[in-house]
Structure formats: structure tokens, C-alpha cells
Structure 1
Amino acid sequence: MTDTDETPAGVRADDTRGDGLDARLVVDRGSFRLDVALTAAPGDVVALLGPNGAGKTTALRALAGLVPLTGGRLRLDGTPLERTPPEARPVGVVFQDYLLFPHLSALDNVAFGPRCQGAGKAEARARAAAWLDRMGLADHADAKPRRLSGGQAQRVALARALATRPRLLLLDEPLAALDARTRLEVRAQLRRHLAEFEAVAVLVTHDPLDAMVLADRLVVVEHGRVVQEGAPSDIARHPRTDYIAQLVGLNLYRGRAEGHTVRLESGPAVATTEDLSGPAFVAFPPGAVTLHRDRPTGSSARNLWRCEVAGLETHGDQIRADLTGELALAADLTTVAAAELGLHPGVEVWAAVKAAQTHAYPA
């Protein structure tokens, strides 16, 4: 089998026995210090999530060799890469704005990487044509980037990165430049291509849906440190910081559990169905909150707090109320319900949550 007739899969069949990624990325930049450990096996897709300034992009650039490490280690398939220049690393990168060469056709953009690796022109173009066909872009091989849609440009950039047969694929906000409709389609396509990729992929995103759909494992970074990592479903169900709770749409509190009650560090107690003892988190979705203008009587809800509306905003097809008072929380309700309650900033309400709709877990 030759390089030109093999099925593109990101790597050669005889290169798939690697150990994957083993890194501790330490980067000091002025007063900011990044110290993030990352491990992944071949075939894994890891998403780095975090607020702006958390260090996600710095970590990605350190993996690519564009930012030097000031400490730690970086090994790929057992090979140290700390001193390896970017162009010599078996790493493919898809940047947020794709960075396609405007004067080259889609075919020559994809062929650029193999050419830099020493492939002849015919071989590089054949490999590029195979990748464009795999991406459903065979009919656009001669098109310059300005003639491509956002989704097409994203696929060309991905094909260009994969055509070098990387052992590590880095994607920096790969869907951020797309409109909502295109994003949905391209996300599904990207998921399929990542599922077929036989080496390690690391994705940086601020969009929780992108991370949940595309990644096998999430690593959440805040202030240059990993604050939580695990499967998307585990992180969505057990957030451990306010940022993660907001990301997955939960009200989150920390306190001390005593049986079926979690006494919050600052605020009232919350009744739960879980029986715990010791430091604990308790969470519930905004949709679990019901609001009343008067204190409800005969309600089965074991959690009831007097609050004040601090703000209202449209949230999808609902209204999200930001509440302060005995307990600061977010509540979701329909537009009709908000109108019937006469909600506006400054209005006092009672917020009720059933114990069965809360979720408590050890801190």
C-alpha cells in the first residue's frame, strides 16, 4: 500500500502503538502561572474548558511548541518534546480563524503540510485530494479560501492538519467562527472525524455543548490550574466550582451535610434526599425553582426562601430571574408565568424547591 492509496486516518497503521500524551505544562508569564497536567491515550478526545484568561490557549500553544515551557514535561508516545521545535513536532493544529493561505487553493492548502514534511508534489496533492474527498469537499479542491463558506473553510483546515498524520491534534475554538446553523452541522461532522482519529486530540472551547458533544473527557481550568476533570456526564452532574455550575446551568452551593440537610457556609440549610455527612455540595437546576408572590401554604416543597428579584433576562424560550435574599439563586419560568407574577427588579417573591429536585454530593 502506498501513501497515496491508503485510507486517511490521521496516522499510519504502524504508528498506532504509542502511549499517547503525558504532560505537565508549566508556563510562567509575568504574574500568571499555568500548571496543568494532561494525559490521554491514543484515540482520546480531551476538551479544555475554562473562563477567559484561565490559561486554555496558553496550554494549547505550549503543546504546539509556540510557547516554551518553564517547567514540567511534555511526552508524546514516550518521546520528550520539550526541546523539539514546533515544525518538528508530530502535531497538527486547527486555529480559531483557520489561517488558510488565501493565495492557495483548498487542495494546495491541504498539500502544504505533507510538502513541508518532504513529500513530493504529486504525492502531497494526492494525499490532499484524498482528505478533501473524505471531508466531502472534492468539488471544492480548486477553490480559494475566499470562495469557501465558514463550514467548508473549517473542514479544509481540519484536512490540512490531518494530512500531516499528526500524533497530537490541537483544535483552538474550531467552531467559534461559524453561525449557529452552520455550527450544528459542522459539529456533527467534526465529531465523526474525531471519532475516527487514532491519535490524541485536545480541544479548547468555551462552549459547553461543543465540549460535551465532541470530547470523551473534560479538563476544566481556572486561574491556570485544573479544578475538575472527568467524563462530561460526571462533570455536568457534579460541578465543583461556580464557573462549572454556570456552564452546565445549575445553582451550586457548598456547606456541611448532616443527614438529609446541607447547612450552607453562607446562607440557609437545604433539604435533600441524599443522606450524607461532612463537607458537601448541593445543586439544583433553575427550572426546579417555583416562584410565588405570597408565602405558599400547603406546598410539599421542603425548601422555601424569601428572595428579591435582582434582574430578569431572556434565556432560550424562558425568562431567567436572578434572585437575592435568603439565598442567591437563578430561577427559570415561562414568559406567561413571569407576567402573571408581575416580576420586575425589586419585587419580593418566595422561591420553593422540592428536596427531590436537589442533588447533594461530597465536597
Structure 2
Amino acid sequence: MSHLRKTTNDPTDDGDRTQGLDAHLVVDHGTFRLDVTLTAAPGDVVALLGPNGAGKTTALRALAGLVPLTTGHLRLDGTALDRTPPESRPVGVVFQDYLLFPHLTALDNVAFGPRCHGASKAEARTQAAAWLDRMGLADHAGAKPRRLSGGQAQRVALARALATRPRLLLLDEPLAALDARTRLEVRSQLRRHLAEFEAVAILVTHDPLDAMVLADRLVVIEDGHIVQEGTPADIARRPRTAYIAQLVGLNLYRGQADGHTVRLDAGPAITTTEDLSGPVFVAFPPSAVTLHRDRPTGSSARNLWHCEVSGLETHGDQIRADLTGELPLAADLTAVAAAELNLRPGAPIWATVKAAQTHAYPA
């Protein structure tokens, strides 16, 4: 994704606007402790991913100043914000439910930010009109939130956040309230707006597709700590926890490699294409698994396990079978194949995976 990285010659600016975000967020909340380090350059879009309760929203609220840091630091463009109240931070926030003022029009919702930053009513409304036009909402300037569709409300909320020209944009599940069809359209629009945003954007989402499409870099948080970070391609290819593997749709195991054989920490051995030694992860997609009602003979697959069907669910246009037994795994197959195998919970099944379809990498 390309970014338009703008510079400024405004002598009143504090700090170095080219530095971006430098944060060590430590928040103690009862028995839960968040301890994450986040850095991002201007123009970067970073997605925070993780299961419920991992600490993503706490991190976002700490960046916004809505949750105080127990310790650590928060610097934006070289300026410390640790003790700066939320309303004085150069931060824009788009909340999950948008939080538009119901009694104000779209125009006045967007104008609210510039007004709070000292602009006159006329100046603020002129700026707001320009932002609504940029969002393709010029014809809805006079509409109140109840008259807007979900996608339109999302764009008004984004315009309101951007109208103050923030140096940090925070988006909390910005597409979660949309139906599937609207989500597809708005995701594309949001990607374009983020590509044009010259400062740092931090996105919290549960949706891996949102993260993969919108972000340059993913930061995965579990139990208040970062467990993996990298580009979407890196994360998808080399997951390092069960949560990430499930997120990107892979079977993932950990074990000790000796050449092309990996002895799993809990379970049998897996034959892989890579020649490695020491602690490794092994991953393969559910589509790489072939199921057999009887033990196959003459199969070229080097990996063969006797399993039991524990559950079946529709997965896109296929059936996903969850298997237990010698090796817990997920397998994808067509509805026709599932019927021919007479798959049902409790049924015994043989699973094979070719070594060429596995991927092993250092743990």
C-alpha cells in the first residue's frame, strides 16, 4: 500500500512530525496487565489483532488517553503525551458504533472537531463540507445520523475524526457494525482514505480480512502481550500461536525437527519438505488434508493418521471437518465428498497429507 507522506513548515508545530508513534503501554487493570510496545512511522497503518480480552481495546484507549498508563511512555512525533488530557491530544478516534451526535446533521457532526480546536463556526462548516465531499457525502450534509445508512454513518465518523488533522488515527472495529455487502464497499473506501492519510493509523479488528486489506503491519496481542508482528504475508505464512493459525486458516503444530521429520510435542511425527533441526513449527492448510473411509494403500502421502470426526460445519462453499485422534486437525472437503464418506460426528476416518504440502519453519 502506498502512502502520501506530507510535511509541514508550520513554525508553531511542536515536536518532529516525521517521527510517528513511539509507545510502551503498560496498564494494570485488576488481575490483567497490558504490556506492549508499538512503533509506527507517519503513513503506516498498523492493525491490532487478538482474541477477546487480549488487550487490544485497552491499548487503543491508552493511546487515546482514555485509560492512564501505569508506567511506560507515549510519544507522538517526538512529543510526550503521557500526561496530556484526551481532548488536547492530536488524536482522532472512530469508535465501533461511531458515536455520532444524533441531534446534529452530518455537516455539524464533522464540524464539531474543528470548532473544539478554535475554528469559527463558518470555518468549521467549510472544512466539514470539504471532508464530506471527499467522502462522497456532499448530498447528505443536512441529514441527521438516523437518516444515514451504516456505510454513510461510518464515513461521517471518519470525516469527523480526520477533520481535526490528527497525527494519530485510532479505529476501533470500524466495519463491525456493517452488513456483509456494505462492509465490502466501505472496506475498499476506507483503504483508499487510509492510503492518503499522512500520519499514523492504528486499527483494532477481529476480522483477519479487514486487517490483511487495510494494514501494512499486523501486531497480534494475546493475554496483554505481543506474540507476533509482521507484514500480513509474514503472519499468514508463518503463524506462531494457535489463535493466529486459526485466524489465517492453518493447522499448526510445534515439535523438534531432525532432517525431514518433525516429532511433535504432543502427538505423532510429521514428514516435511524442509530439512531442519531443533524446535520448529509445522503448518498446512485444511485443504491439504485428504480423507479416506478405509486405511489407504499405495498412497504417496508420507503422513497418515487415524482420526475421528468431532464436528462438521459449513466453511464457505465447502465442509470443514474437525478431527481428533492421533492428530487433531481441520480438513476441508466438498459437500459431495463429505456425503460419499458418510461423515458424521463420531465416525472413524483416515487423514493423509503429502509432505510437499507442509511448511516447517524455526520456532
Shift of 1:24: 0.5
Which residue number corresponds to residue 150 of structure 1?
Answer: 150
SS at match of 2:9: helix
Which residue number corresponds to residue 104 of structure 1?
Answer: 104
Distance 2:272 2:355 in 1: 5
Instruction: Spell out structure 1 runs of 4+ moving beyond 6 A.
Output: 9-12
Whether 1:330 aligns to 2:330 is yes
Which residue number corresponds to residue 4 of structure 1?
Answer: none
Shift of 1:18: 2.3
Aligned residue-pair number: 355
Distance 1:272 1:12 in 2: 50
Which residue number corresponds to residue 344 of structure 1?
Answer: 344
Shift of 1:261: 1.1
What are the ranges of 5 or more consecutive residues in structure 1 without an aligned counterpart?
1-8
Which residue number corresponds to residue 221 of structure 1?
Answer: 221
Shift of 1:188: 0.2
Are the equivalent residues in 2 in contact too, given 1:11–1:166 (CA < 8 A)? Answer: no
Shift of 1:298: 1.1
Are the equivalent residues in 2 in contact too, given 1:92–1:170 (CA < 8 A)? Answer: yes
State the one-letter code of the partner of 2:19: D
State the one-letter code of the partner of 1:178: L
Distance 2:335 2:217 in 1: 36
Shift of 1:267: 0.4
Which residue number corresponds to residue 18 of structure 1?
Answer: 18
Are the equivalent residues in 2 in contact too, given 1:257–1:278 (CA < 8 A)? Answer: yes
Distance 2:204 2:129 in 1: 28
State the one-letter code of the partner of 2:114: P
Distance 2:314 2:304 in 1: 24
Q: Deviations over 1:257-284 (max 9, x none)?
A: 1111111001010011011110000000
Inter-CA distance 113–100: structure 2 relative to 1 (3 Å threshold)? same
Are the equivalent residues in 2 in contact too, given 1:40–1:46 (CA < 8 A)? Answer: yes
Q: Deviations over 1:317-361 (max 9, x none)?
A: 111101001000000000000000001011111000000000000
Matches within 5 A, 1:234-245: 234-245=234-245
State the one-letter code of the partner of 1:42: P
Are the equivalent residues in 2 in contact too, given 1:10–1:165 (CA < 8 A)? Answer: no
Distance 1:250 1:62 in 2: 32
State the one-letter code of the partner of 2:9: D
Are the equivalent residues in 2 in contact too, given 1:288–1:331 (CA < 8 A)? Answer: yes
Distance 2:17 2:48 in 1: 25
Matches within 5 A, 1:270-309: 270-309=270-309
Q: Deviations over 1:38-85 (max 9, x none)?
A: 000000000000000000000000000000000110000010000000
Matches within 5 A, 1:1-363: 13-14=8-9, 17-363=17-363
SS at match of 1:14: coil
Are the equivalent residues in 2 in contact too, given 1:10–1:163 (CA < 8 A)? Answer: no
SS at match of 1:97: coil
State the one-letter code of the partner of 1:14: N
Distance 1:14 1:303 in 2: 63
Distance 2:69 2:213 in 1: 30
Distance 2:347 2:160 in 1: 56
Distance 2:213 2:263 in 1: 35
State the one-letter code of the partner of 1:306: H
Shift of 1:13: 3.7
State the one-letter code of the partner of 1:190: L
SS at match of 1:103: coil
Inter-CA distance 259–10: structure 2 relative to 1 (3 Å threshold)? closer
State the one-letter code of the partner of 2:103: H
Distance 1:144 1:300 in 2: 64
Are the equivalent residues in 1 in contact too, given 2:17–2:78 (CA < 8 A)? Answer: no
Q: Deviations over 1:103-134 (max 9, x none)?
A: 00000000000000000111111100000000
- Quote the sequence identity (%): 85
Distance 1:49 1:186 in 2: 20
Distance 1:240 1:302 in 2: 24
Q: Deviations over 1:282-311 (max 9, x none)?
A: 000000000001011111100000001111
Distance 1:244 1:226 in 2: 12
Distance 2:7 2:139 in 1: 26
Are the equivalent residues in 1 in contact too, given 2:5–2:42 (CA < 8 A)? Answer: no
Shift of 1:17: 3.9
Are the equivalent residues in 2 in contact too, given 1:11–1:165 (CA < 8 A)? Answer: no
